[in-house]
Structures are given as C-alpha cells and as structure tokens.
Amino acid sequence: MLFKYLTSRCSQRWRLSVPSVSRRLISSKTPATASLSRLEPQQRVDLTQFTNNVRRVRDRLNRPLSYAEKVLYSHLDPEFDGPITRGSSQLKLRPRRIACQDATAQMALIQFMSAGLESSAVPTTVHCDHLIVSRDGEEHDLPRALDAHREVYEFMESACQKYNMGFWRPGAGIIHQIVLENYAFPGGMMVGTDSHTPNAGGLGMLAIGVGGADAVDVMAGLPLEMTAPKLLGVRLTGELNGWASPKDIINTVAGMITVKGGTGYVIEYFGPGTQTLSATGMATVCNMGAETGATTSIFPYAPAMSQYLRVNNRDDMAAAVESVSFELIADPGVEYDQVIHIDLSTLEPCINGPFTPDLSTPMSGFSAAVEREQWPGQLTAGLIGSCTNSSFEDMSKAANLAQQALDAGLKPTMPLLISPGSLQTRKTLQEAGILQVFEDLGATMLPNACGPCCGSWDRTDMPKGTKNSIITSYNRNFSGRLDSNPATSVFLASPEIVMSKVFSSDLSFNPTLDSLLTPSDEEFRFSPPTVDSFSSATHQTSDSAYLPPPSGGRSNLEVQINPSSQRLQKLVPFPPWSGQDFENCLILIKTVGKCTTDHITPAGPWFRYRGHLENISNNTLIGAVNAETQKVNTVRNQLTGRDGDVPATARYYQSQSVPWVIIADHNYGEGSSREHAALQPRYLGGVAIIAKSFARIHEANLKKQGLLALTFVDESDYDRIGASDRVSILGLGGLEPGRNLMLRVCPVEGEMWETEVRHSFTEEQVKYFKAGSALNLISGMNDGEA
C-alpha cells in the first residue's frame, strides 16, 4: 500500500507513541542566542525563551504537545489567559516577522500609512517578485519591469525607508526563497501576505499566510487573532528513492485531503521519514500545503536544517537551534486529530491537475487518465521554478536530467522556461556550471521572480481559447491562472518530471519507463537524477539587492505617491455600520463551482492596479461563473432589466444606494491571500457574502474590510435562492460570537421565506464590522477615539 489514510470521528483522536526524548536543562553557556538574520544583527532572539514558554504551556495544558503547538503557543500574547482548545479557542499571537510580496504590499503599505503610525512594530520586509512579467528572458524582462513599474517600486522603497522596513529590489528573488535563505529558523513564527508563506515550515518555522489587513495589525503592534487550529499529522516512514521527490509527497497529500480538507488544520509532518529529507525539500512540501486550505504546514527539527542554516552563513542560528533541538519535535504521546501515513520508500511520482491542484494521478496511471479524461494530448510548454521548486537542489536535479538528454543528442520539443528562486541561487548555479547546461539546452532563463506561476506571463506562442497542455513544477493551476487562457490544461509535477517530459510532446510519455528515439535512431531512457542538496561551490548571497532601513532619523523622509497616479491611490475610510439591518439587498451574482481569488480579482495585467482600489475594482468577479446562466462576467441588472458585466452592475447598484450581496458555493475565496478580493466588493457597495463555506484567509480578509462573511446553516438554501431574489440580513444589532443571524428571502414570484445563517465573528471582529473596517478601528485607536 502506498499510504494508509486514517481519519478520526469528531469524538476521537489518534494517539501516537514516539521514542522518549530527554529534556536536559540549558546551561547558561549554551549558545541559544542568535541574530534574527545576517541582515538585522541588532535584532536578537534567545531560544531559551522558546523552551521556557513551551514548558509553561505544557504545564498549563497538562498534556504532551505537538511541535506545531509548541511553536504556536510559545508565541501567545503575554496577556492571553483564555482557554486553549483546538478548533474553537480564539488565540492572540505575537509573530516575530512579517514578509510582504509586492502585489499585496502596495495595499498593505497604503493601509499602514492610513493608520498614522511611525514604524513597524516587528521586523518587516517587502519583496519585489510578482510584478515582473516573464516573456523573453531575464535580460529583457527585468529591465522592462523596472521601467513599467518604476512608480510602484519607488513608492514601496520610500515607504520601507519611512517606516523602518527592509526592501528587496526587483531581481532579488521570490519572497519565500529569500525568507528561507535569510530569515526562517526552527521555533520561530512569522506571517506573510502571500498564501505560500508556509514555505518556511521547511526550516521548522510556523509561517502563516494572511491578508494585508492582518499584516497591518501586526505591523501596528497588535496581536494576530486566529482560531486555534486542529492538527493533521502526516507520519512519514521510509526514504524516497528512484524518481520520487518531495513534490510527490505533497501532491499525494493534496490528492488525499482535497483543496478544502486542510481548512482549520495545521499539517504537521513527523516520523523517521522527516529525517531523510533536505531543508528545501521540506520547504516544497510545506509550500504547496497551502493548496489544501491548511493554516500552515511544518516539519520538526532535522540536522538538514542546521546544515542549510550554515550553508547560508547563519552559523550562530544553527548553533542556537542545535542547543534547543530536544524541544523542536513533538512530545512523546502527542495526540493528533487526524493522521495520514505515507511510506516514502513506496511513493511514486505524481502529476496533479488540470484545473485543480488536488486531482492527483500516480505516474503509473497517468497515461490511462489522459486517454480517459481526454485531456489535450500535446504538451506545449514546460516550466520549472516558482516558490515551490526553485532551490539549488531542484535546479541541480533538473540539470542532471538535461545533461543526460544532451549527451544523447536530444533537445526539448517545446519551449522550456526556467526561473531560479533567488539571485543567490542563480549565482551559485552559475558557479557550479549548472546554468550552462540550461543554456546548452536552449531554455529561456526567466528572472528570479514568480513569473508565470502567479500569472505574470506574457505567453505569445498560444492563441487564447486554444486547448493545450503544459507541465510545471508550480503549486497552483486554476483555470486561466498562468497564461490567461482558460483552455490551457496545467499539470503540476516535480522539476525532474517536468524536465524529462519536455523531450516528448506526448503528454502521456512516462519518463520513468518509456524510451525516446535519439537522432541516431537509438533508444534512450532517462536514469533517475542523483545530486547533492548543496553546491560544492561557495554559496553566494542576494545581499546586493537588499536595501536596509536607514540607521538615522526618518521623520524627514517622504513616501512617494503622485496624486494623479493611475497605479497608486490613498484610501478613503469605508463608512461605519449604520446600526440598521441590511434590508432588501440585491444579489449581484450567484456563483457556482470554484470561485477562487483568481476568479474574484484576476492577476496578470491587473497586477499594475494593485495599489489603486478604484481602478482594480474594474475586474471584480469577472472570472466568476454565474449559476443562473453558466456565463462568465455577465449578470442581469435587476434594476434596469439589462445584462451587463459584473463590476459595472455593482457600480450601478452603488450609484442607486442599493446594497448588494454575493451568493457562493463551497470554499469561496480559495487560493491566494490577495485581500483585494475583499476590498473590491466592499468598495463597490457590497455588504455580505453568503456561501456554503469559505477559504480561511479570504474569510478573515472579508471581516477585516467590514463585510459580513456568512454561511448557510442548511446548505440546501443555496439552491432555493435565485439571482433575482431580494434578501435581508436581520439581527445585526445583536451580532456577537456564536449567535446566528436570520436571512429573509423575497423572491420576485413566490412567498417570502426565512432561514438561519451562521458566522465566525469574534468580539474583536464584531468591532471591525461596526467601525466599518479593521483599519478604521486601528486609526480610531491611534487618534484616541477608541
């Protein structure tokens, strides 16, 4: 059996026995203190505080702790004295770091400016990786981005200087690779304004993706609020061999628990198999764990983590971590809410997709699936990189296979695009001679950036609407996400599988078994790649692309925003709640099926307006499927009786002072952390989203912006509501945690009916709603009004 999937009933948990671990006291001479990073020598962390906090929490709960619980609960706000119950308790946490990518940082910085604060309360960095559009290769793409986005880059750089934040310039690399190389460490906790922030879990860090408003809270010195997650334990035994890779671990897990199965859980890996993986391999697993809806994913300490820290010139952190390593694992006898068992020694490569990252097919069954599902059989492009698979180890494995093919006289049969994860990785690959292999192959070397993975790909070889298949080492494959072509079938695999498959245009080609014909008419078959995790050459750094905060005063510094800019716009506060129920609301759209953040606010060319709420609101819900007509971006204006696009219809309702709501299917807001998917409906006059269920980050984002995030108590009510109905949300005067609201539905024809809707608002989030937004509340506190 490849795996054993064990799930508990609600009243049960799985109890795991692990070898006992000695808990020695730390000597005062133990080197448990280190710099948070090489780039912030003045910021120090003493890991004895971590062990002391763990001891206190263990005594308080009087039970063994999982590793994720140790890290999470050791970062509780000192004033938090509430109960700690998985799945229900509202925690207040103090993360040690914030990282923001440029597409979300724009609005986060604008919100922070609106709060009237002088400096970020915790170390914060901004990373320029999303706006760089890939097309011709780094030599052309990076200069073009610098020119096209100069205004935005100058704004973010000036804001970082003003508010005491670090700034990683364009070309430095992908946010998550930079964080792994420079900032992540076992036992630490951070938040990031990107859904794949959990990448840092590969170094034992509890790293959580959040919306910009949550990040602004932490910047402002407020605690991060979240529900205590449940624990999904993944026990790894055995050791990867042959073609199996860390990517296949998470491809398998995603296939087992689906894109919403991780919601409300932290995925914690444990067992002897965790000690056989590299740090970057573990990061790959944690990174793509976001596709399950999990709060985050994490690995316990392994010697590979210390090795990675030292390779990246963080010797003091490695020593500090080693001194407390006995506490960087789960306690003996810990209980998980669910458990999965995967035997790494029997794992085979998997390919996930298309159109959803949880459709997982083992390589041995992929050819049959292609024929059965009638997926486009011609492979038209291969893409290697992204924050999931762009490390030195990933690139080395791909190069090993590329060299095998070159030695046999083979060349790719399609465009091959490669994105190193960071400037450091690129320099090290250059010194190790690996970039030369890719150049000999004829690959297009893209900038050190997200590129196609986040939709920043100007694909010119495939007309829109043409059915085709591509294979990538990325993490996400929703319709139209990569190349803005909804007809492209995107498959997700390891870099090894991607590289080996680009030598055959047949999607069904199995590189682990099938042979290719060389120019000399000889049969060629790939051998599994074998490489080291690290370069024998000296590891370079990306420091040349980093701008630290100024060491002197910042009071005279100005943030650069042109008042007439079409890219950047200061925020006008949303109006506070009127004190009345929302009555006779129109339904803007009733969506059906997947409605991810890519459907709510697409990326690609719209990235340029991420700092301008008015302009980017013109893409609101243009990718959502209308449940009434199955059409995209077409809804009936219930006031005029005419059909129109979604954002224009929303603006019309707003101009007539008529509130509106959205009716949605399961897992509404799945995908990225982009808070624009919440800001835009709020800006256009929306008051509530009523869904079968929500994705975690998006639900939090909606509440932060003063929107009601409501779910049907009876899911069948979704089917009863028609797009032409009027709805009223009643009982808002008594909005409080745990108390349902009433929904009154008035059809155009038929009798009025009522039903209950539930919410998950905390007391603090009720304050957001009443104030109009979390930002309004923070601004009021800063002005002494609350």
Q: What pTM did the predictor assign?
A: 0.90
Catalytic residue among 75, 94, 426, 476: 476
| Per-residue pLDDT at 530 | 84
Catalytic residue among 120, 386, 456, 672: 672
| Per-residue pLDDT at 539 | 65
- Tell me whether residue 130 is one of the annotated catalytic residues: yes
Angle between helices 175-182 and 279-288 (to 10 degrees): 140
User: Which DSSP letter does residue 506 get?
Assistant: B
- Tell me whether residue 150 is one of the annotated catalytic residues: no
Catalytic residue among 74, 75, 129, 248: 129
Long-range Cβ contacts of 551-557 (<8 Å, 24+ apart)? 554/118, 554/119, 554/161, 554/162, 554/163, 554/164, 557/158, 557/161, 557/162
Catalytic residue among 102, 141, 194, 394: 194
| Per-residue pLDDT at 534 | 64
By percentage, how much of the chain surpasses pLDDT 70?
A: 94
- Tell me whether residue 717 is one of the annotated catalytic residues: no
CB 216 within 8 A of CB 778: yes
* Residue 94 tokens, joined: 């103090």
The pLDDT tens digits of the residues spanning 315-369 come to 999 999 999 999 999 999 999 999 999 999 999 999 999 999 999 999 999 999 9
| Per-residue pLDDT at 165 | 97
The pLDDT tens digits of the residues spanning 592-634 come to 999 999 999 998 889 889 999 999 999 999 999 999 999 999 9
User: CA 726, CA 220: separation in Å to the nearest integer?
Assistant: 40
Which residue's structure tokens are 């923070």?
778
- Tell me whether residue 682 is one of the annotated catalytic residues: no
Average pLDDT, the chain: 93
- Tell me whether residue 194 is one of the annotated catalytic residues: yes
The pLDDT tens digits of the residues spanning 505-547 come to 999 999 999 999 999 999 999 999 987 666 555 567 889 999 9
The pLDDT tens digits of the residues spanning 682-731 come to 999 999 999 999 999 999 999 999 999 999 999 999 999 999 999 999 99
- Tell me whether residue 696 is one of the annotated catalytic residues: no
Q: Could you tell me how far CA 273 lies from the centroid of its own chain?
A: 25
Catalytic residue among 666, 674, 676, 698: 674
Return the closest-CA partner of residue 26 out of 54, 47, 56, 57: 47
Query: What are phi and psi for residue 239, nearest 5 degrees?
Result: -150, 140
Domains of the chain (ranges plus CATH)? 52-345 (3.30.499.10), 349-524 (3.30.499.10), 582-784 (3.20.19.10)
Residue 27 pLDDT level (bands cut at 50, 70, 90) = very low
User: CA 116, CA 139: separation in Å to the nearest integer?
Assistant: 40
Which residue's structure tokens are 């002494």?
784
Residue 672 pLDDT level (bands cut at 50, 70, 90) = confident
* Residue 751 tokens, joined: 């009798």
The pLDDT tens digits of the residues spanning 33-52 come to 999 999 998 899 999 999 99
User: CA 616, CA 735: separation in Å to the nearest integer?
Assistant: 31
Evaluate if residue 164 carries a pLDDT over 80.
yes
77: Cβ contacts below 8 Å, ≥ 6 apart: 92, 93, 94, 223
Average pLDDT (58-78) is 97
